[in-house]
Structure 1
Amino acid sequence: MPPPEKPAMALADCLYRTALLWRGRGCWHWRHYGRHYRAEVRAGGWDVTIERRRYRLRSLSHWLPSGRNVHIVLSGPSISRIDAPDLLLQGARITVNGSFQILADGGVHSDLYLISDVGYVRRQWSSVQAGIANARALAVDHRVALELARRDPDLFDRIPTYLFDNLQRPYRQSSAWWRRFSPAELAMDGQRCAFSNDADIGFYPSRTVAFLALQIAAAQRPRRIVLFGLDLSEGRYYAEATPERSMLQQDYAEYIAPDFRFAADLLRNTSIEVINASLQSTLPGDILPRVDPNEYLKQLPFADAA
């Protein structure tokens, strides 16, 4: 009788992880993929194999036509002060984690639902499902793609999905890989952080999904990016069955504020206008100018509607 398949697979995975130890700490994040995940770059996207099933995922280089307004809808409590969520239709809408709820409550869909935290998928699966149902498209990194496919193998057949590299955990590359780019290819603040507007390279996560969303928006070459709910405080707009722990206050001074200042300085030298539509944001106005979200939305011509 042949040996059971499961123990043999477990042994193979153990050997795979042992081999990674020889590659060094920079490749240890590969353990999350094991032998069950393969991704190859193809024109316009990625060919991905997960648990022997093949998927065609897209590149964020081809998500949105240039010259649009992009509204990044984040999870800060100030988002609840938007009087008419349907006015967010005046730009392409990116939502993250549970922030889609304000759009869903107003009968509005998000254009792109960004998920970068595999832990959030595991702990808040029902919320993730609702966010996907509200979205026209999905954006994930490799690790999240693997987790979603394991939970719902048909998901990527139901919704257009865009795949990107997390530059701190790039697929089949060292965690220091991003430091090897030239300044012409990737804007870097020394060895500390990076800001990418090139989806083919990937995006730097910093310590908040808001920074990741800002890069994805900038990669679309929009006319204007407006961040709603960028409070950077401990609270969240939406209710949680099991409250998620937030590290924003701990990471703010050392990582988040310097990274946003670096990004803002870069974007000032482009044709992209960036606005913080949270009057209670911790981020100073000299980094990103602030506006009242309702005053901003009411003055926009509805001709910009998506």
Structure 2
Amino acid sequence: MNAALVAVLLSLVSACAYAAAAVAQERLASRGVGAGALRLLASGAWWWSVALNASAALLHVVALRYGPLTVVQPLGALTLVAAVPLGARLAGRRVSAVEWRGTGLTLLGLGALLLTASGPAPDDSLSGSEALAVSGATAALIGVLAWPGARPGLRHATASGIASGVASALTQTVTVAVAERSDPLLSAQVIGVAVLVAGFAAGGLLLSQTAYRGGLGAPLAVVTLANPVAAAVIGLSLLGERLRGGPGGVLLALTGAALAAWGVVQLSRATPVQPDDAHAVPPAPAPEPDGLKTLVPRQPGPGHLTRL
């Protein structure tokens, strides 16, 4: 089977698992679970979301072995596409027209990106100094975004997406090194990069949990956009990955990215439609207590009062 096709299939399953984990995390956050690390550790439901995230991450690692970052990472946007109907079903509501429109735009944009990004299996990896430089710059940026201040949900979501994207780039370095070396598990570089991957993955998970306290749509949309952007910057600048088709391919990729971004924005702005909204009946006015008298002057003249 073609390596790129294997990467795409694995990425699709991984996105569905990530979507289920995101919905579980958001439901926990909406119930007040997740206000502190100790409460998270005591929650069985949170550990289920961790298991889902771990399974999705494992599939993602394998996908990165068969496909380049510029292919695998854009497919992560399908996490949002899968999370929308799943979250709606669990909430007992319909998916709105805006949500469906956002889903279509996202899929159309992803298709354009895949046409230009499809390439051979990765054969390059970050050097030790490059991995340290990327990790240091990422840690500093995450520290700035996680600093207390206004709109922490979107800032934490951005930090989570960046952490996950960088973890994916470092993961590809590990998988390529393991495949090409005779003693990969004993290599200090591989062990060091694997530790960095674990750190960024765990940080991204905790940051997303705090971001979902304000709801699922907007934070997950920001995570979905920040993740492939961070990975693509590393893949195109340090790993020698390229877009196909020359200037026309670049234009198509930019168009696809714009469509996907607009679709994600639509999904993040969508207002949930409750199942009975179309048949809702306004509540009846509360009856007046017995004996309540409202005195209103009659129009003909003063001195005449009526009791309603």
Q: TM above 0.5, one fold? A: no
Higher strand share: 1
Q: Based on CA coordinates, which of the two structures has the bigger radius of gyration?
A: 2
Tell me: higher relative CO, structure 1 or 2? Use CA pairs within 8 A at least 6 residues apart.
Answer: 2
Q: Normalising by structure 1, what TM-score?
A: 0.23
- Output the TM-score relative to the length of structure 2: 0.23
